[in-house]
Structure formats: structure tokens, C-alpha cells
Amino acid sequence: MVIALHAERVSGEPHAVRWVAATDGVPAGRVVSAPGDLGRRFADGTLAAGLVEHTAVWLWLRDGLSWRDEGPAIQTALRAALAEPDAWVVEPAPGEILERVTTDLLDGSVGDFVRSHGGSVVAERDGDVVTVKLGGACEHCPAAEHTLHQRLIGELRRRCPDLVELDSRGGRLNLSLTPASG
């Protein structure tokens, strides 16, 4: 079975690509080492960093390389590596994962919704806790809060099943991933 996989741009980070694929079996967190050809690319520095979240693998290319050139080979390597989930070595990074996923969603349709109403929304991270803040026209709007709650949380849960909502009040959502998984 060929693993379903596609590449998405990361806004603001030309060296990063979010590879969307089912990462079943691979633990979530910062990549220390990976099997096969992918692991070699981490080792020789072609890939500067990697982050595994529940539904995707983020990869950063070293400065000076382009995804256009390296992409096809890395795709093949990633596909092969995902077929060996037990061979990955990963260190937990719940805060970073949550921050990236949240920012990703806010850059997309959830954030579009808020911005279309004249508001703004940002995510800030403090350790393992990510705080989502509404601003602008939506700052004190209960409807906006409610919608943000429903949509963002719903989407986040899909991508991070271990999402925990901490105390949230007045236009701020405090979120975290349970430390055991992330």
C-alpha cells in the first residue's frame, strides 16, 4: 500500500514543508533520528529539523537548498520511513506542536473567518501552554468567542487528539497537550 502523502507550504517559512500523511505509530515530537534515507538526510544536515504531529510531519531544509530540487527525493524517503514507525526516535515537544498546529489553523479557514469580521487572532506560547487571543473588532464579542471555541477546538482536536483546554475566559483560550503524549 502506497502511503497517502502531500506537501503543503508553511506561510512565512520558505524552508519548511508540512507533509500531510497519517503518522500512525510514529510518536509525536521533535525528530532526533529516522530510518533509511530520511535518517541519512537528517544526519548529513540536508534536513535541518523535523517535527512529527498527529497528522503530518514538518521538515525544514538546510539554508541554501530548495524544496523544488530536493522535494521528490525527500518525498520518497519520507514515504519509506513512515512505513517503519518503530524506527523513529523522537523527543516530546507538546508545546511546539500545539503552537505550530494552532498557528497553522489560524492562518487558514478558522482565522479567515475571524478576519472577515474585522477581527484578529493570534497564538502565543509559554512553555507547554498556548494562548489564543482575539483582537480587533472581535475582541469582546461573545459570538466570536463561541465560534472560535467551536471551530478551533474542533479542528485542533482532529489534529491533536490529546488537546486539553485549560481555563479560558474573555477572548482568550488557554490550551495544552497532556504531557504524556502531545
- Which residues make beta-bridge pairs with 61? 47
Q: How many CB atoms lie within 10 A of CB 15?
A: 17
Q: Rule CB under 8 A: say whether 64 interacts with other proteins.
A: no
Nearest one of 140, 146, 99 to 123, comparing CA atoms: 99
Binding-site size for other proteins (CB under 8 A) equals 21
Q: How far is CA 105 from the centre of its chain?
A: 9
Q: Which of 6, 140, 146, 172 binds other proteins (CB under 8 A)?
A: 6
Contacts of other proteins in 105-124 (CB under 8 A): 108-109, 112
| CA atoms of 160 and 51, how far apart (whole Å) | 14
Our CB check for other proteins shows the closer of 61 and 123 to be 61
Candidate ranges 2-10, 27-35, 91-99, 174-182; the one touching other proteins (CB under 8 A): 2-10
Taking a C-beta distance cutoff of 8 angstroms, is the pair 65, 46 a contact?
yes
- The residue ranges that bind other proteins (CB under 8 A) are 2-9, 17, 20-21, 67-68, 71-72, 74-75, 79, 108-109, 112
